[in-house]
């Protein structure tokens, strides 16, 4: 969320949501709020999880619909909170009450490690690797797909679908390298260090009304989502401090830094300090001058982002016309009204 909301990298250790929850931010909700958008987060867990109830105030979110707004009955709760199908269904009422235009975020959780799923919720058979987490991963992914379909059907029926930019993304990897044997069976090839790095990829789908669908072959990361979203909404981001670039721009830098200093580009990658041909996965014995310069660039970019967070530097800077967020204006205790003016 730090990457998505602010185009800043996470910290090298610890959670920025927890340790930097009182920082000043120029987040998506604040930027769009000053463009007239009502903002809201929907999540089937409780607001204190990952310190969201505090940092969302720093982000300038108008509303936060957490577990206290939902029917958390035993049959509909699993793992980290409310299952995705009842979550989306119950969210419809709250979404329809928001003043338009709005910027909203829905955080799902059924398709999350260790991927438990009740038999009644599974519409496909599990995989057969013998690793329970890998085997049920596909069942929870299918369950998520079905829940998203139902929600998109609602958006179409309500008229919102044809008037909304919709971004669907995964927040982090699905299966860790602790499941190497099972993943080797699934992929049909050795699940080595290179393949594990490729498994850090997450889905990214963007719906834009009136735009023909297709596949964009771009290398990018979650740090690029905010600049991309602002571009799609016609908001100039030149004066904002953002480390990502617009995925749809010809000037997009196809360089994906990892938090540990590794990186991936369309042609070569550094993984665990070793170089690989990105297209074949073959090791590269000698690091070229260009590769060294890329490594230095990644290290510098991470260092600068860390400086912003560690020093709370955005308290000293704001683009012309941007009003700094006043977190005292926001209260996420459950209330009867969801009107954006009732904070």
Q: What percent of the chain has pLDDT over 70?
A: 97
Phi, psi of 105 (to 5 degrees): -135, 130
Answer for the pair 11, 3: CB distance below 8 angstroms, yes or no.
no
Which of 271, 248, 262 lies closest to 294 in space, CA to CA? 262
Q: Which residue has the tokens 């993984």?
A: 271
Any idea of the CA torsion for 154, 156, 160, 164, to the nearest 10 degrees? 110
CA distance 8 to 27: 10
- What does the block give as tokens for 211? 């735009």
What pLDDT score was predicted for residue 343?
Answer: 45
Q: Residue 88 — pLDDT band, cuts 50, 70, 90?
A: very high
In terms of DSSP bridges, do strands 166-169 and 263-264 run parallel, antiparallel, or are they unpaired? unpaired
Q: What percent of the chain has pLDDT over 90?
A: 95
Q: How far apart are the first and last CA of the chain?
A: 22
For the chain, give the secondary structure using H, E and C: CHHHHHCCCCCCCCCHHHHCCCCCCCCHHHHHHCCCCEEEEEECCCCCHHHHHHHHHHHCCCEEECHHHCCCCHHHEECCEECHHHHHHHHHHHHHHCCCCEEEEEECCCCCCCCCCCHHHCCCCCCCCCCHHHHHHHHHHHHHHHHHHHHHHHHHHHCCHHHCCEEEECCCCCCCHHHHHHHHHHHCCCCCHHHHHHCCCCCEEEECCCCCCCCCCCCCCHHHHHHHHHHHCCCCCCCCCCCCCCCCCCCCCCCEECCCCCEECCCEEEECCEEEECCCCCEECCCCHHHHHHHHHHHHHHHHHHHHHHCCHHHHCCCCCCCCCCHHHCCCCCCCCCCCCCC
What pLDDT score was predicted for residue 338?
Answer: 47
For domain 1-247, give the CATH superfamily: Alkaline Phosphatase, subunit A (3.40.720.10)
Could you report the per-residue pLDDT of 15-34, keeping only the tens digit for each?
999 999 999 999 999 999 99
Domain ranges in the chain are 1-247
pTM of the model: 0.93
Answer for the pair 294, 216: CB distance below 8 angstroms, yes or no.
no
Could you report the per-residue pLDDT of 202-229, keeping only the tens digit for each?
999 999 999 999 998 899 999 999 999 9
Cβ within 8 Å of residue 217, ≥6 positions away: none
CA distance 221 to 227: 11
Residues 330-336 have a mean pLDDT of 85
Does residue 250 have a pLDDT over 50?
A: yes
Could you report the per-residue pLDDT of 251-291, keeping only the tens digit for each?
999 999 999 999 999 999 999 999 999 999 999 999 999 99
Residues 296-319 have a mean pLDDT of 98
């Amino acid at each position: 969320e730090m990457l998505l909301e602010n185009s800043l990298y996470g910290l090298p250790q610890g959670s920025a949501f927890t340790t930097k929850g009182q920082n000043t931010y120029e987040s998506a909700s604040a930027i769009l709020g000053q463009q007239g958008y009502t903002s809201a987060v929907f999540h089937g867990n409780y607001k204190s999880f990952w310190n969201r109830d505090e940092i969302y105030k720093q982000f300038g979110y108008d509303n936060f619909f957490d577990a206290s707004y939902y029917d958390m009955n035993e049959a509909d709760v699993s793992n980290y909170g409310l299952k995705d199908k009842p979550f989306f269904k119950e969210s419809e009422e709250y979404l329809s009450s928001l003043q338009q235009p709005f910027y909203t975020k829905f955080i799902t959780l059924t398709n999350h490690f260790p991927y438990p799923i009740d038999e009644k919720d599974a519409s496909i058979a599990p995989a057969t690797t013998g690793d329970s987490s890998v085997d049920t991963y596909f069942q929870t992914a299918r369950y998520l797909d079905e829940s998203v379909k139902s929600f998109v059907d609602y958006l179409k029926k309500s008229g919102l679908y044809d008037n909304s930019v919709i971004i669907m993304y995964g927040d982090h990897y699905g299966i860790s390298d602790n499941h190497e044997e099972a993943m080797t069976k699934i992929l049909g090839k050795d699940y080595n260090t290179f393949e594990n790095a490729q498994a850090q990829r997450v889905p990214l789908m963007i719906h834009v009304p009136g735009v023909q669908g297709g596949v964009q072959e771009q290398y990018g990361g979650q740090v690029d989502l905010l600049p991309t979203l602002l571009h799609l909404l016609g908001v100039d981001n030149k004066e904002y401090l953002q480390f990502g670039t617009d995925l749809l721009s010809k000037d997009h830098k196809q360089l994906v830094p990892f938090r540990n200093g590794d990186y991936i580009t369309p042609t070569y990658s550094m993984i665990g300090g070793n170089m690989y041909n990105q297209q074949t996965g073959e090791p590269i014995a000698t690091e070229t001058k260009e590769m060294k310069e890329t490594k230095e660039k990644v290290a510098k970019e991470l260092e600068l982002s860390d400086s912003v967070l560690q020093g709370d530097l955005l308290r000293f800077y704001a683009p012309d016309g941007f009003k700094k967020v006043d977190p005292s204006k926001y209260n996420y205790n459950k209330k009867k009204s969801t009107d954006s003016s009732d904070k």
